[in-house]
Amino acid sequence: MSDSSGEGGAPRPEFSHARPKHGLVGPFSGRQLLTGVIVVAGVLLLLVLVTRPLGNTDQLGPRDPRATPFILGAAPANGLHAGDRPPELQEAPPTSQHTDARPLAIVGIAALGAALAFVIVIPRWVGFAGPHGRAVWPWRILFAGNFALVLVFTSASMGLGRTTVVVGPAPALTDLDGRPVQLADLRGHAVWINFWASWCPPCQAETPVLRDVYRAYESKGLKVVGISVQESNAADVAAYVARYGLGYTVAADLSGDVFRAYKIYALPTQFFVGPDGVIRSIVYGPLTRESAVARVEQILPATAPSPGASGQPSPSASPTLSVSPSP
């Protein structure tokens, strides 16, 4: 019989060898792998739901009752209304920023004084005055100085002492050929201002309406100004204009200044301005050919001859976008 006692008669622990457990795949067990698959599938499902467009993505023409504008944001409470004079088509004026150091100096001195008062008075109230002897003032000055510097840098980052000065007149919005586009130059004409984007489906569907109505009423005093917004570059806009043979004035508002001045929240947005320079009507969304003709005829100059009985636009030989038949 073997002796299982160690020194001093204490029993020795029994020796056993157990094979290490291996996971289903490497160190991972089947339960861990299943949990990982479920988590990944849940994340993918959440991404699909978040990125899925609201509503359907069918190609709808402006005459389809389901055709709606592309909403960019909430409608502003102080937007333009019929009877207002539209802002001039111009970009923001050039500005220059100047920094006055005096307010920052005042803040720094006040902060330094307040911090010194704090580290002198408060420690006495709580019974702690810091190190004894000559070492008492260095830590006070260090604390107060750091506090003052932090307050000065914070004030500077928030714009204290910084002023913006206009250094020149506001440049006019220019068309794709670099010519200025000004409403003042269009006074006496019927003006149809159309805010649109080449990537906007309702705007694409409305393109033949603007092109054909402009061709029909150009000789009767109609001016159309298409302002493309939220585009990456003017070359894309020019390619779109050339592709569909748009003969009216088109400008690319790459800076977004005109877009913000008119408080646009949907594309397309239409402003119909009379010969007197006053907004007669505003439409948020695509127009049918019939509704566009009706609104244009309401703002035509009085001296212009009335349109023909049919009021139909001239046919186009350029590439066309499909427009569903009128319901």
> Could you give the domains of the chain?
57-93+172-305 (3.40.30.10), 96-166 (no CATH)
> Up-side HSE of residue 277: CA atoms within 13 Å toward CB?
11
User: 27-31, 119-123, 146-150, 201-205 — which one is most confidently predicted on average?
Assistant: 201-205
User: 32-36, 58-62, 281-285 — which one is most confidently predicted on average?
Assistant: 281-285
Distance between CA atoms of residues 265 and 81, nearest Å: 14
* Confidence (pLDDT) at 105: 76
* Confidence (pLDDT) at 304: 53
* Confidence (pLDDT) at 317: 35
Distance between CA atoms of residues 257 and 246, nearest Å: 24
Distance between CA atoms of residues 34 and 183, nearest Å: 66
Yes or no: say if 148 and 83 are a contact pair by the CB < 8 Å rule: no
User: 41-45, 85-89, 212-216 — which one is most confidently predicted on average?
Assistant: 212-216
What percent of the chain lies above the pLDDT cut of 90? 39
CA nearest to 283, candidates 272, 294, 275: 272
Higher pLDDT pick, 227 / 164: 227
Indicate the pLDDT class of residue 184, thresholds 50, 70 and 90.
very high
Indicate the pLDDT class of residue 243, thresholds 50, 70 and 90.
very high
The pTM (predicted TM-score) of the whole model is 0.56
Indicate the pLDDT class of residue 327, thresholds 50, 70 and 90.
very low
- pLDDT tens for each residue of 16-42: 655 555 555 555 566 766 776 787 777
In the predicted model, what is the mean pLDDT of residues 66-85? 85
* Confidence (pLDDT) at 19: 59
* Confidence (pLDDT) at 121: 66
Q: How many CB atoms lie within 10 A of CB 98?
A: 9
The amino acid occupying position 125 is: W
Higher pLDDT pick, 93 / 277: 277
Q: Is 50 exceeded by the pLDDT of residue 142?
A: yes
